[in-house]
Chains A and B, each alone.
Chain A
C-alpha cells in the first residue's frame, strides 16, 4: 500500500503537470490525482501547484477545503466513505457502519466533515452524500471505487481485507459490480445502438436542419429545470464569442438519482453523439464531460468510448471526413460537491475553482466556460437530442404531453420490490410507477431528490411532467413503516453540508434549519420551533442566491404541511423550549466541580432548578 514513500510529492506533481499540462483550470484535476495518490493534499503539493499554475496557495487550499473528497490531512490508506442517503439508511447502512467501525477497532461514528481515522493510518471511515447506488445499496466508496449491495457479510470481509492490507485490485470483483437494473424501456432506452446516424444526418443536412429537428421535438432539459434545448443551443450559437463549448453535466448529485450512471454505462455512445451533434450545431470545438467523483469507476470505460469514436471518425478532427468539423471531449472529475450540478457552479469547477454559483445573467449560453458561450445539458438531454436528430422531432413528440414531449427516465429506489431504472412517457401518474415497481403501503414519494417535492398518497394521481411534477428523475419511496422525520433529518443535514456558503440565507438558514430539525427529533422542540422552521424555510426559498438554497427547505415545508404528525408527536408540551439542552450545558461545570448531585442539574419541565 504505502507506495507514497517511493514517489515524492514534488515528483508526483511534476509528473501530473507534465502529463496534464499547466492550465490553471486543471487545478482541481491535479488535486484529485494528488489526493488519490497520497490520501491527502500535502503542503508540498499546494506549494508546487501554486507555483506551477500561477494561482495563490490560498486558492489551492480553498479548493481543497471546498471539495468533500479532498483533504488537508491524511485519510487512511483505505479511505472508506459510506453513502449516506436516506435510501442507504433504510437499507441498514447505519448498522453496517457501526459493524465496520467495531471490526476496525475505531470508536465513535463518522459525521459530515468528521472522518474516523485509525492511528496507524491504515484506514479511515467517513460519509459521502448519495453515491448514486440507491437501487443496490447500501453502498460505499473505497478509495473512490464504488462497492454495492453491502450486508454484514460483505462488511466483515472488507474489514478483513483492510486488516490484511490487500490492495483493491485483489478485492473480490463482485464487490465492485454495479448493476444497471433497467426495468422499463421506452423511447430512449429501447435501443442503445448507434452507428453515428445522428452525426451523419447533421453532416448531410446541415446544422440548421439538425437544430430545426431539436426545435420541432420540443425537447426540454432533463436535469429538472426543463429549459427548451433548442432555444439553449440557438442562444449559444448566436451569442458573440471566440470559442464555444459543450458541457455534459454528469454530476448526478441529486440524492436518489442514478439514471445518468446507467446511461453513461450502456448508452455512452449516444450521449457523446448528442454532445457532438450539439457541437456541430453551435460550432464548438471543445467539450467537457463533468463526471461526478463518485462515478470515477466509469472513467476507463468512458475514455475507451471516446477513443473508439475518435478512431471511427466520430470525434476529433474532421469528423465524418468533414473539413472544419473538429470537436473533442475531455472528461473532468468532480470531487464531492452537490452544488456542482448547478450549471454555473459546474463551470467554475471545470475551471478548477471552488464550485460557487455564478451571478446570472449572464447565463452560460452567452458567458460560460472561459467566459465563452457554452451549452450545459444533462446526460439524458444529450442522449435524447442524438435520437431527435437521427429520427426527427416528431419521433419525440409521439409520446408525452403537449408541454412535455417524449419520455422521462426515473431512478426508482426505496420501499419497493423492484428498484431500478424506469422510462415512462411524460404524463404518467405516480401511482403507475408505484404499481410497476412493486411498492406497497406507500406513505410518501420524494420526487426529484432531496430538493424536490414530498408527495402524500392524495397526490399519487399527479403526473410526471414539467407542468405538474418536474423531476430530474429521482423517485424515492417510503412505505408506512418509515418515520419520515428520518428522511427530513437526512436531507436537512445534506443541505447544510452541501451549501456552498456563498449567500447568507442558504449558508446560515440551512444550518439553522438542520439544528431545529435535530432539536425536534430529540423531543426538545416546541410549536414555536415549527413556526421558526417555516420562517427560515420561507426566507431561504425567497432570498437565496441559487436553486440550491431555493429548494433546500422544500422537504421541511412539504412535510410540515402534509405530514405534520411526524413533528407534532415529538413536541414538548411547552409552547417554547430552550434552544439548547440546559442540563447538558452544566456538564463542564459539573466536571470541574467534581459534583453530580441533584443540585447540579437543571430539570427540563416547568423550570425549577433543584
Chain B
C-alpha cells in the first residue's frame, strides 16, 4: 500500500525517499520552481517552491515527503512569500522582458504570473553586467542570470565539462566561465551541451534566431505554467 500526504487537501501518493516536489509533480500537481529540474539533484537555492508544512516553511524540492504530512502550497501567505522571492530576483538582475527573446517562454516570467506578481515592488539594484557574445552559437546575457546553477550542474553532471561555476558571495555572486579569458567562446562549451538547454530565463540563448513565435502563441501566452509545465518539457517548440 502506498503512503500518502496531503497537499492542499489532496491526497498525494509517494515512495520513500521522494521529495514533496517529486511526489507532487508525479501526481500532476504543480508547485512553482526555478532552480529545480527533475533531471538534476535537488538544489534548493531559489526558494520559490517554498511550502508550509505544519507551520514551518520548507522548500518542496528538498524536503522529503512523509506519511500523513499536511502541505500548504496555495494559501495566500505562501503565494505572498513566493511573490516576494520572485520580486527579489527581478530587482537583483536586469530583467527587461520587452527586450528579451525568451519572453513568453521564460520560466521566471511564467512563475511570476502564476504567483500573481504584477511588479517588482522592491528597489532595483540595476547592476552593471556584461553580455558575452563570444561563442559562435550561444549568447550569455548575465543580466538575466538568477543563479539557479542549472547550467553549472548540467555542464558538470551531464556534459562532464565544468564550463560554469558560481564565484563571489552575497549579492556579488555571479556566474563565471571556465576559460583563460573568462569568455564562453574560449571555453569547451558547445550548443549541443545540455547546459545550453536548461536555463529557466533568457540568460543562455541560441544565436541566429529570436522572436520566432508570434506574441499570443508563445509557450505561456495562453495558459499558465501550472498547466503548460516547465520550459524544458517543451524544448523542441521553444528552441
Chain A residues in contact with chain B, CB under 8 A? 56-59, 61-62, 65-66, 113, 337, 339, 354, 359, 361, 496-505, 507-512, 515, 532, 535-536, 539, 542-545, 579-580
Q: CB-CB < 8 A to A545: which residues of B?
A: 44-45, 47, 59
B178 at the interface (CB under 8 A from A): yes
- Judging by beta carbons under 8 Å apart, are B171 and A508 in contact? yes
Closest to A497 in B: B170
- Judging by beta carbons under 8 Å apart, are A539 and B85 in contact? yes
- Judging by beta carbons under 8 Å apart, are A507 and B47 in contact? no
Q: CB-CB < 8 A to B113: which residues of A?
A: none
7 residue pairs, one from A and one from B, having the closest CB atoms? A501-B173, A508-B88, A58-B178, A62-B167, A579-B123, A499-B170, A58-B165
Q: CB-CB < 8 A to A504: which residues of B?
A: 45-48, 85, 88-89, 92, 146
Report 27 cross-chain contacts, Cβ distance below 8 Å, ordered by A residue.
A57-B178, A57-B180, A58-B162, A58-B164, A58-B165, A58-B167, A58-B177, A62-B168, A66-B168, A359-B42, A498-B170, A499-B171, A501-B147, A501-B168, A503-B44, A504-B45, A504-B47, A505-B88, A507-B170, A508-B92, A509-B88, A510-B170, A512-B122, A535-B84, A543-B47, A543-B85, A579-B123
A380 to chain B minimum Cβ distance, whole angstroms, is 28
B64 at the interface (CB under 8 A from A): yes
- Interface size grouping (class) on chain B: 35 or more
The answer to whether A543 and B50 touch (CB under 8 A), given A501-B147, A501-B169, is yes
- Judging by beta carbons under 8 Å apart, are B170 and A496 in contact? yes
A503 to B166, CA, bound (A): 12
A106 to B93, CA, bound (A): 34
Closest to B61 in A: A359
**Extra A-B contacts (6), CB below 8 Å, given A496-B170, A499-B169, A507-B171:** A58-B162, A58-B167, A65-B172, A501-B170, A512-B123, A544-B47
Q: When A and B form their complex, what is the total count of cross-chain residue pairs whose Cβ atoms lie within 8 Å?
A: 120
A347 to chain B minimum Cβ distance, whole angstroms, is 17
The answer to whether A542 and B178 touch (CB under 8 A), given A62-B166, A501-B147, A504-B88, is no
Q: CB-CB < 8 A to B172: which residues of A?
A: 65, 113, 501
Chain B residues in contact with chain A, CB under 8 A? 42-48, 50, 57, 59, 62, 64, 81, 84-85, 88-89, 91-92, 122-123, 125, 146-147, 162, 164-173, 176-178, 180
A503 to B122, CA, bound (A): 17
A543 to B32, CA, bound (A): 14
- Judging by beta carbons under 8 Å apart, are B169 and A500 in contact? yes
B181 to chain A minimum Cβ distance, whole angstroms, is 11
Q: CB-CB < 8 A to B122: which residues of A?
A: 508, 512, 532, 536
Q: CB-CB < 8 A to A497: which residues of B?
A: 170
Q: CB-CB < 8 A to A507: which residues of B?
A: 92, 147, 170-171, 173
A511 to B122, CA, bound (A): 11
Q: CB-CB < 8 A to B59: which residues of A?
A: 545
Q: CB-CB < 8 A to A501: which residues of B?
A: 147, 166, 168-173
- Judging by beta carbons under 8 Å apart, are A539 and B45 in contact? no
Q: CB-CB < 8 A to B169: which residues of A?
A: 65-66, 337, 339, 354, 498-501
Closest to A501 in B: B173
Which of A337, A500, A508, A544 has the largest count of B CB atoms less than 10 A from its CB?
A: A508
A78 to B45, CA, bound (A): 38
The answer to whether A539 and B167 touch (CB under 8 A), given A504-B47, A579-B123, is no
A112 to B8, CA, bound (A): 44
B172 to chain A minimum Cβ distance, whole angstroms, is 7
